Structure 1
Amino acid sequence: MLYQSWPWYVSGPLIALVMAILVLMGKRFGMSSNLETFCSIGGAGKFVDYFKIDLKSKRWSLLVVLGAVIGGYLAANFFSPDPAVEISQATVNKLQELGFNSAGQAYLPTELFDVAVLSQPKTWILLLVAGLLVGFGTRYAGGCTSGHAISGLSNLQFPSLIAVIGFFVGGLIMVHLLFPLIFGS
């Protein structure tokens, strides 16, 4: 079971259990709040009052980040016998038309995430713009996709429903309109 995707009837109740425990503890699940914590640890509070926070109250969420990193490493290196990603052949064909020849063969396209690509200015510009947009969007939406979709929706928060719809629509626009413009030949 560790070497394949978990079925919904296992992973869904586990997510629900974690969410119930967090609610009972008075905590919220989300990864983006850790970016604020990292900025505070890095000394941003010396320059911006927003980052003057109680770091002790954020320790538990830093453990979530550590767990995600360790879990991702273990899953990719020990529990994934085949590095290929199971996506439809039509998607693989479309990505290969856009120059992503590693589509379907690796978790991350080497055309974007290989060390050799960092010598290209286009890669740096894309990463910088994407980082700024994600950071701004996360702050503006009051959380990230995991926080709104898992925690916010499970707490029946209407702003989270609006945010999740926005994430979905934004993803569709990116994939169908912007992605071909950026990476098309």
Structure 2
Amino acid sequence: MGKQFGMSSNLRTICTMCGADEKASFFDFNWREQKWNLIVIVGAAIGGFIAMNLLTPDAAVAINPETVTTLQGLGFESAGKAYLPDELYSLEALTDWKALSILIIGGLLIGFGARWAGGCTSGHAISGLSNLQLPSLIAVTGFFIGGLVMVHLLFPLIF
């Protein structure tokens, strides 16, 4: 239908709404045609809140005990006890230079990757694959390979 769908599309729309179109040509488009997509952000926030606070009887995550042991060996004491590791995603983590560096560098790499791939994981995996688009298949394959490389090769080196 010629419309973009995904979180990176929403970020582009929000940046354009805030005046980024005056600084970079990438943001120079009619954002009003994309404002329907902003409901994705609202839905993700509301859905996450409902799932965490109303539908989750226990904050523990059922993961393999060997994985818990490995993560705890890397310094993640909250492994298996919470959805997100407190060592990276708590307010205290913002005062730790290593955790803050990981979040900032990771965010920049994700932003660069989403721009380079022409969309984010949700846009390619949901919209692109359902439309049988070859670029989306290539992008999603790359996302999975990148995730495997990160978890099995880079993650142990960082922690």
Q: TM-score range by the shorter chain?
A: over 0.9
In the TM superposition, residue 115 of structure 1 has moved relative to its aligned partner by: 0.4
Matched, 1:124 2:100: yes
Q: How far off its partner does 1:35 sit? A: 1.3
Give me the whole-angstrom Cα distance separating, in 2, the residues matched to 1:137 and 1:73: 27
Among 85, 91, 96, which residue is 2:61 paired with?
A: 85
- Determine whether 1:159 maps to 2:135: yes
The DSSP-based 3-state class of the residue aligned with 2:80 is: coil
CA-atom RMSD in angstroms:
1.3
Query: Offset at 1:59?
Result: 1.4
Per the alignment, residue 117 of structure 2 pairs with: 141
Tell whether the 8 Å contact from 2:13 to 2:35 is kept in structure 1 after alignment. no
Q: CA deviation at 1:42?
A: 2.1
Q: Could you say if the C-alpha distance between residues 27 and 49 of structure 1 is closer, same or farther in structure 2, counting changes exceeding 3 Å? A: closer
Q: 1:66 aligns with which of 42, 65, 76?
A: 42
CA distance in 2, matches of 1:89, 1:150: 32
**Residue 173 (structure 1) aligns with:** 149
| Deviation of the 1:55 alpha carbon | 2.1
Give distance in 2, aligned partners of 1:104 and 1:98.
Answer: 14
Match of 2:7, SS state, is coil
Deviations 1:87-146 (A, max 9, x none): 111211111111101011111100101101111111221111111100000000011111
Give the Cα–Cα distance (whole angstroms) in 1 for the partners of residues 73 and 137 of structure 2.
35
Aligned to 1:17: none
Over 2 Å off, 4+ runs: 26-29
Please give the secondary structure, in 1, of the residue aligned with 2:34. helix
* Structure 2 unaligned regions, length at least 5: none
Partner-residue secondary structure (3-state), 1:170: helix
What displacement does 1:53 show? 2.0
The whole-number CA distance in structure 1 between the counterparts of 2:127 and 2:31 is 22
TM-score normalised per structure 2: 0.94
Q: Is 1:54 the equivalent of 2:1?
A: no
Aligned to 1:98: 74
Shift of the alpha carbon at 1:165? 0.9
Q: Does 1:39 align with 2:39?
A: no
2: CA distance between counterparts of 1:132 and 1:123?
A: 14
User: SS of 2:15's equivalent?
Assistant: helix
**Secondary structure, in 3 states, of the residue corresponding to 1:180?**
helix
Unaligned runs of 5+ in 1: 1-22
1:119 and 1:103 map into 2 onto residues whose CA distance is 21
Q: Tell me which amino acid in the other structure corresponds to 1:148.
A: H
